[in-house]
Amino acid sequence: MWNFRPGQIVIAVLLAVALPVAAWAQLKNIYSQRDRFHPEVGHHGMVVSQENQASAIGVEILKQGGNAVDAAVAIGFALAVTLPRAGNIGGGGFMMIHLAKTGETVVIDYREKAPAAAHRDMYLNADGSVNRRLLEAHHLASGVPGTVAGLARAHKQYGSLPWKDLVAPAIQLAEHGIPINYDHLFTLTKGKQRLQQFEATRQMFYKPDGSMYRLGETIVFPDLAHSLKLIAEQGPSAFYEGGIAQKIAADMQANGGLITLDDLKNYAPTLRQPVRGTYRGYEVVSMPPPSAGGIQIIQILNMIEHFPLQEYGLNTAQTLHLIAEAMRRSFADRSEFMGDADFWPVPVDTLISKEYAARLIRDLDPNHATPSRQIKPGTFLNKESNETTHFSVMDEAGNVVANTYTLNFSFGSGIVVPGTGILLNNEMDDFSAKVGAKNAYGLLGGDANAIQPGKKPLSSMCPTIVFKDGKPLLATGSPGGPRLTTATLQVLINVMDFGMNIAAATNAPRIHHQWIPDKLRVEKGLSGDTIKILKSMGHDVRVTNTIGSTQTVMRKGNFFFGASDPRRPGAGAQGF
């Protein structure tokens, strides 16, 4: 049933079906000669992910009669094989689901949890400094994984096809192998020194003599295939109670880690209600705590809604200045008020209220940057790495999935559990290891995000769905650490303020400001004159690496549109 050839790339096509004249007129309007970028188009559904083979699997599931949730589950497992630096079954994340039949939008929170033996100061040296090695490349760095439980919960509650059929494509890929592409070559070369310090990791990703696989050569993952077979046959219990769980717990005990069989057995995803906001006639629905991303998106939109961005123009200095100032204020609030709401009283309603946003911008100078040292968290009385990944799915029935999950760093902690092919996350670095200390991405943390047993670390992940007139218009999200929030935000602004199609909205240059450090980061491609004006307004502008990698789907009338971010190689938007 699954026959993927090495290097296969499935191109999105529109089926040759008879369409009403009005539908063709709509398609003609979407494909405007005034646009430099155009999305992929489908008539029955759309899948967008960061890796082509995973997108092809999602489309095949839809063709077999599966719904958007079925496709998302299959993609989630496939990415653990084809995009091992970020796709995972040893990490965690968030899945937002809109159900066409009931009109309900829900969130499955399958974020990693701190083990029961975790404690507030577990990463501090005797002198009180933070031990980065323990947070980044040690068995202590891992939270209890949630991906398998999260995908299983989604399938059990909202899926339609048999579980085995959704895991099967990933098993075949792991057994028969995948061709080494440029992305694999780059990330495995860059991470070689870190990854090869762990024997099981070296055996999984490098040749027996430790050398690199060459471009186009096939790499197989027999241990991962075996683990996936167990999960297909036994369900999530294989991972949380059976043979896989025993191997994880044994490896932890042998190497100073904290995750036990009880930690795994007691893990359960949480069903949550999303946060909601409005912006210029649209409804924006995004992630609640333990993610800060959804709150921040709504908060920033509430601030910039006070200004006529369309009048100022796309990516002009005036528009970018206002967006950056709103970002700055939101990240200040993030450091103080946001954490796992099951452990900390996050004032969600206040943070996303329009009244509070109006107070935040009272000191905003429309012509000059406010130094971050003057911005304090508002008064009203830690990050994913670039190796997070996102995928979005829409099906013909109107169901929508936006899913973001991660291992944190590229290849997580770098540790593969022997005999499983499973990479462990290093998500414990998303906690505040020490109040007031920065994490690996420069984000400050406080008491709200301090380590506690069973607590989930603060996240930036923000899978988001936008509604217009009560119907889902688009779904999007991104990897990129704190930058994933601002990348997702700017795609939304480009669509809602400037009427761009999702491909053009994706390709536009981006900016990022996170309060601390006080720097305005911009991508290459922004006008030199614009940068000069921003500097004259007081911004410390730095041209930086690309910001985020959004994966966006949209439905308008009889058509589905998909845009995969060109900032990362190998991504694919595919429809049918």
Return the closest-CA partner of residue 560 out of 17, 16, 48, 21.
48
Burial (0-12, 13-18, 19+ Cβ within 10 Å), 514: buried
Return the closest-CA partner of residue 462 out of 93, 99, 150, 73.
93
Q: Which residues contact 83 (CB under 8 A, 6 or more apart)?
A: 50, 51, 54, 183, 389, 570
> One digit per residue, pLDDT tens: the chain, 576 residues?
444 444 433 333 333 334 455 555 666 666 777 888 999 999 999 999 999 999 999 999 999 999 999 999 999 999 999 999 999 999 999 999 999 999 999 999 999 999 999 999 999 999 989 999 999 999 999 999 999 999 999 999 999 999 999 999 999 999 999 999 999 999 999 999 999 999 999 999 999 999 999 999 999 999 999 999 999 999 999 999 999 999 999 999 999 999 999 999 999 999 999 999 999 999 999 999 999 999 999 999 999 999 999 999 999 999 999 999 999 999 999 988 889 999 999 999 999 999 999 999 999 999 999 999 998 775 433 344 557 899 999 999 999 999 999 999 999 999 999 999 999 999 999 898 776 555 444 454 567 888 999 999 999 999 999 999 999 999 999 987 789 999 999 999 999 999 999 999 999 999 999 999 999 999 999 999 999 999 999 999 999 989 999 999 999 988 999 999 999 887 889 999
Q: Which residue has the tokens 């509650």?
A: 157
Residue ranges of the chain assigned to CATH 1.10.246.130: 273-385+461-563
Residue 34: predicted pLDDT: 82
Residue 239: predicted pLDDT: 98
Q: Which helix (H) or strand (E) holds 13?
A: none
Alpha-carbon distance of 44 to 48, in angstroms, equals 14
Angle at CA of residue 150, ends 146 and 154, nearest 5°: 180
Catalytic residue list contains 388: yes
Residue 32: predicted pLDDT: 77
Residue 381: predicted pLDDT: 32
CATH architecture of 273-385+461-563: Orthogonal Bundle (1.10)
Residue 441: predicted pLDDT: 46
In DSSP terms, which residues pair with 425 in a beta bridge? none
Catalytic residue among 201, 388, 506, 530: 388
Query: What does the block give as tokens for 269?
Result: 């995803």
Query: The pTM is what?
Result: 0.92
Residue 455: predicted pLDDT: 96
Is-contact 548 487, C-beta < 8 A? yes
Burial (0-12, 13-18, 19+ Cβ within 10 Å), 464: buried
Residue 202: predicted pLDDT: 98
Burial (0-12, 13-18, 19+ Cβ within 10 Å), 424: buried
In DSSP terms, which residues pair with 542 in a beta bridge? 521
Q: What is the DSSP letter of 444?
A: B
Residue 26: predicted pLDDT: 64
| 482-496 vs 293-304: helix crossing angle, rounded to 10 | 40
